[in-house]
Amino acid sequence: MIPKIRQFAGYLIAGLCLFFLIKPFVQTQTYLKNASLHVQWHWLVPSFGVLLFYRSAYLYPFTTLLSRLMQKQVSFRSAWTLFHLANITRYLPGRIWGIVRLLSLSKKFGLSKTAVGSSLTLHVGIETALGGLIAMSLLFSDGMRETASDALETFSRHTLLLMLAVIGVMVGSVFLIPKLAEHARQFLKKLAPRLGKVSLSGFVLTCHCLLWLCQGIAFFLFVRSLASVFLRDAGVLTACFAFAWIVGFLSFLTPGGLGIREGLLGLLLSNYLPPSQATLVALLSRLWMLAAESLLAAIAFGLHRTRNAPCQETT
């Protein structure tokens, strides 16, 4: 009975992921009829390779934080396998299933749920803060300001309301909700003794800077494989991606920011590409990222089965 339920759940998850992935394409199919792309594989293949490297190296600062909080050495393989087994479930409706899955699997890897949750919070918090700095510093450059008025005219009311809501939540969290700030301060205060030396914070921060650089390179190569962009645009393209990623991450409307991230990314890319082409590039970027996440999840599943095989044979 249980295997059938698991099988049904697997089909349900796959169907939901497929629905949320196809929905943006269906909604924009008329608009995309005039879009034309010529795939340059000599750029696309390296972009996918860099993306796979980024998604793997992404776990290095997380493992470092986890090892310090656990006060023992946590193997990179265990952290890598745990994360990618759980990561794919973040596309389920509700936005919490990725974290729930991560915490539920922690015990099987001999890890504390508290340590895993705290490490993930710090890890994602640093990533989001750096992404915000990248977006703000580059999106409001001279080149972007020249096209800002034109860009705003292309935003739909729903997108503008969403952006204002996200900005309002961020401002309110910092200035208008002192209790939240106090909780954050107490959380960091409790973790500080375990994190220890200041050098750890510098090391983790440096890792995240390099990770954003790697993500920017991967995204630029991806866009370059589908459209004509110049190397000088690499910085602002990274900023566009960072801004769309943050809005999609902070939105609670769709799992994994599906639809919201692509819509905003398409609008931002339309400053550098024809609108229909920009929209198609934004939508295909989700397939590009989902392909990498699915491949890494399959590898993690294989590693997990291999890890448990000796235990099952002994039993």
In order along its 315 residues, the chain shows pLDDT tens digits of: 555 565 555 445 545 544 554 555 555 555 555 556 688 999 999 999 999 999 999 999 999 988 888 888 999 999 999 999 988 887 766 567 778 888 888 988 889 888 898 888 888 888 988 888 888 876 666 555 554 444 444 445 545 555 555 555 555 544 444 554 454 455 555 555 555 554 567 788 899 999 999 999 999 999 999 988 888 888 889 998 998 888 777 765 566 666 778 888 888 888 888 888 888 898 899 899 999 999 999 999 998 888 765 444 444
What's at 279, amino acid-wise?
T
- Distance CA(189)–CA(183), nearest Å, equals 10
Q: What is the pLDDT of residue 293?
A: 92
Tokens of 74: 């946590």
Q: What is the pLDDT of residue 145?
A: 52
Helix (H) or strand (E) holding 314: helix 275-314
Q: What is the pLDDT of residue 193?
A: 55
Residue 234 located in a structural domain: yes
Count Cα neighbours of 313 within 13 Å in the Cβ-side half-sphere. Answer: 6
Instruction: Name residues whose C-beta falls within 8 Å of residue 307's C-beta, 6 or more positions apart in sequence.
Output: 81
- Distance CA(288)–CA(291), nearest Å, equals 5
Q: What is the pLDDT of residue 312?
A: 45
Residue 284 located in a structural domain: yes
- Distance CA(278)–CA(62), nearest Å, equals 33
What's at 263, amino acid-wise?
G
95: left (phi over 0), alpha (psi -120 to 50) or beta: left
Residue 40 located in a structural domain: no
Question: How far, in whole angstroms, is CA 76 from its chain's centroid?
Answer: 20
- Distance CA(119)–CA(129), nearest Å, equals 15
Do 69 and 193 meet the contact criterion of CB atoms below 8 Å apart?
Answer: no
Residue 308 located in a structural domain: yes
Residue 119: how many CB atoms within 10 A of its CB?
25
Residue 51 located in a structural domain: no
Residue 31 located in a structural domain: no
Residue 257 located in a structural domain: yes
Domain that holds residue 78: 58-314
Domains in the chain, number: 1
- Distance CA(63)–CA(33), nearest Å, equals 45
Full-model pTM: 0.76
What's at 7, amino acid-wise?
Q
Considering only the C-alpha atoms of the chain, give the largest distance between any 2 of them, rounded to a whole number of Å: 68
Residue 22 located in a structural domain: no
- Distance CA(191)–CA(219), nearest Å, equals 34
- Distance CA(85)–CA(89), nearest Å, equals 8
